[in-house]
Amino acid sequence: MKIYHVPCLEDNYSYLIVDESTKEAAAVDPVEPEKVLEASNSLGLTIKFVLTTHHHWDHAGGNEKIKELVPGIKVYGGSIDNVKGCTNALENGDKVHLGADINILALHTPCHTKGHISYYVTGKEDEDPAVFTGDTLFIAGCGKFFEGTAEQMYQSLSVTLGSLPKPTRVYCGHEYSVKNLQFALTVEPDNLRILEKLTWAQNQRQTGQPTIPSTIGDELESNPFMRVDLPAIQEKMGFNSPVEALGELRKVKDNWRG
């Protein structure tokens, strides 16, 4: 299994998931289809289907166009998310297969949108899995609670995604890592892992490189939104439950200007 970044718009990422033995690929959130197809063609791939994380235009906005450019292509999306151009609606736990070796599991991760899907992808046994988290989980951050509650985001982050194997690589929808890590440091100023990762992320961006992927293990160490079970973070937010602390943390981040 190989994964390629395709930078789109100002700070979005689309991705190509590739089954190496067949050169078949899936496109994740191909908001600029021409760019994604150009990348695919230059690598000698055949895009078999689209995986849409959620209905927002900067993720699903290329679906109709890619259907024109690749007649008969399937477009997967969450069943309750009203995804533009969707041909195949997915429920939590549904599986999709790619090529010879890749299995994709749909995980319902609501809150940013009510039908948001994250895609958990496994390849050969010796390969680390990957998860495509759209705008639910970012590196050191999470999406705004546009269509859901703190309870839902807690379930999505700490239960659904947090229980994936720690080496699982995290591919999110936007390049927000530097700002997110700067904010994370205000929440946990003594967390050396955050400081190390911020320095690394700044260097990556200065050389035009992505800061993605992270891993689930890394996020559990450096993402405050996945660390609200810690009494120190709850105390800092003025609550003694993880869900309330998460809600407050999101409010603080929404008002933070950096």
Annotated active-site positions, please?
54, 56, 58-59, 112, 135, 174
In order, the DSSP letters of 123-140 are -STTSPPEEEEETTEETT
CA distance 52 to 106: 11
Pairing of strands 12-19, 24-28: antiparallel
Helices and strands counted in the chain (H then E) = 9, 14
Strand order in the sheet with 214-215: 95-98, 102-108, 117-122, 130-134, 169-172, 214-215
In order, the DSSP letters of 93-119 are T-EEEETTTEEEEEEE--SSSTT-EEE
Q: Are 243 and 151 contacting, i.e. CB atoms less than 8 angstroms apart?
A: yes
Closest C-alpha among 176, 140, 136, 175 to residue 157: 136
Q: Collapse the DSSP code of 74 into the 3-class scheme (helix H, G, I; strand E, B; otherwise coil) and give the result.
A: strand
CA distance 184 to 214: 15
